[in-house]
Amino acid sequence: MRIRPKRLRQGDTIGIVSPASPSEEESLQRALPFLEQLGLKWKFGKHVYDKNGYLAGTDDDRRQDLEDMFADPEIAGIICARGGYGSARFTDKLDLQLIAENPKVFWGFSDITFLHTAIGLYSNLVTFHGPMLASCVGKQEFHELSAKMFQQLFEPMELHYTEDISPLTTISGGTAEAELIGGNLSLLVSSLGTKFEVDTKGKLLLIEDIREEPYRVDGLLNQLRMAGKLAEAAGVIIGDFADAEPKKEPRAASLDTVFHHYLGDLRVPVVSGFKIGHCEPHFALPLGVKAKLDANGKTLTILPGVE
């Protein structure tokens, strides 16, 4: 059982960090009134607006901001400003014992998947795959359901996903109840062969991605297959694959064809169509808790992520 962080309360202060790519100040500032509506105060990491090419400052500075927020007793939770690229560059130097000793809400997705995986493996902490401040909350199209998903941080609540939210497709039938892990497919594959290699054995695996054409998704899933990660999974939850249409080969295989090829014969439940990832609405969820995927009934039930 992973450690579930303490729930947030109105009046709490959350830390805002940029572990990957830089955030536009205007977008991040637009997200702050939403935090006020939640009754939260905030504190910026020292390097939240730094720019170092495609990175939000140096690796050491981004790592230090994250460690400082976990170590600060006044910080009740941490929300990432955006993803992009760069979290994995400092993960091998991240003080994961510090995080284990100071469990608190940690929220983000996309490139943050590498941190979710590492923290789950070595800090034994439930973390949250959800929309970030500058790249999601600060945008005009931020959906009402996306906003509602933050309430799971204030009260332990079971989450239920049905076709009332979006149409779902059963690729392989059955039911499985297991720990929920995963996130961005590219980042999960990049963990292979490292000390942070994703552990799918007996787990429900969530995958999502953006701007990856079907042939690229094919290659990523094939690498997971050859690494034994697909055969070990108890089930697969396919989130949103935004902007994934073939750009050069009009007669290329569809994404659905790729999913059926790699996942259709696993003999475990596999369902696609979940609005989880680079999409609106974005159904946020805790990673590291028990969940139940019913591919026949097309439902996903997830246990609470906070204490």
User: What is d(CA 172, CA 89) in angstroms, rounded to the nearest whole number?
Assistant: 36
User: Cα-flanking dihedrals φ and ψ of residue 63, to 5°?
Assistant: -65, -45
Tens-digit pLDDT profile for residues 165-188 = 999 999 999 999 999 999 999 999
pLDDT of residue 118: 98
Model pTM? 0.97
Please indicate whether residue 208 is annotated as part of the active site. Answer: yes
Based on C-alpha coordinates, what's the Rg of the chain?
18
- At residue 245 the predicted structure's pLDDT band, cuts being 50, 70 and 90, is confident
pLDDT of residue 264: 97
Tens-digit pLDDT profile for residues 252-261 = 789 999 999 9
Nearest one of 4, 3, 19, 302 to 153, comparing CA atoms? 4
pLDDT of residue 47: 96
Q: In what order do the strands lie in the sheet with 13-17?
A: 41-44, 13-17, 75-80, 105-108, 127-129, 285-287
pLDDT of residue 249: 66
- Contact assessment for residue 272 and residue 138, using Cβ atoms and an 8 Å cutoff: no
Rounded to 5°, angle at Cα 223 from 185 and 296: 60
3-state DSSP call for residue 102? coil
Among the listed residues 18, 21, 110, 172, the single catalytic one is 110
User: What is d(CA 114, CA 190) in angstroms, rounded to the nearest whole number?
Assistant: 8
Tens-digit pLDDT profile for residues 114-160 = 999 999 999 999 999 999 999 999 988 899 999 999 999 999 999 99
pLDDT of residue 1: 87
Mean pLDDT (the chain, rounded) = 96
Please indicate whether residue 278 is annotated as part of the active site. Answer: yes
Q: Where are the domains of the chain?
A: 13-143, 159-302
Strands (E), 116-155: 127-129
pLDDT of residue 248: 73
- Position 244 pLDDT exceeds 90: no
Sign of CA dihedral 14, 18, 20, 22: positive
Between 85 and 252, name the one with better pLDDT: 85
- Contact assessment for residue 130 and residue 284, using Cβ atoms and an 8 Å cutoff: yes
Instruction: Count CA atoms within 13 Å of residue 198 on its CB side.
Output: 37
- Position 8 pLDDT exceeds 90: yes
Element (H, E) at 255: helix 255-263
User: What is d(CA 230, CA 212) in angstroms, rounded to the nearest whole number?
Assistant: 19
Question: Domain 159-302, what fold?
Answer: Glucose Oxidase; domain 1 (3.50.30)
Nearest one of 34, 245, 302 to 143, comparing CA atoms? 34
Strands 270-272 and 169-172: antiparallel
User: What is d(CA 11, CA 53) in angstroms, rounded to the nearest whole number?
Assistant: 36
pLDDT of residue 178: 98
Among the listed residues 116, 129, 278, 282, the single catalytic one is 278
Tens-digit pLDDT profile for residues 208-237 = 999 999 999 999 999 999 999 999 999 999
3-state DSSP call for residue 101? helix
Question: Domain 13-143, what fold?
Answer: Rossmann fold (3.40.50)
User: What is d(CA 131, CA 279) in angstroms, rounded to the nearest whole number?
Assistant: 9
pLDDT of residue 251: 64
Among the listed residues 87, 129, 135, 208, the single catalytic one is 208
- Contact assessment for residue 83 and residue 108, using Cβ atoms and an 8 Å cutoff: yes
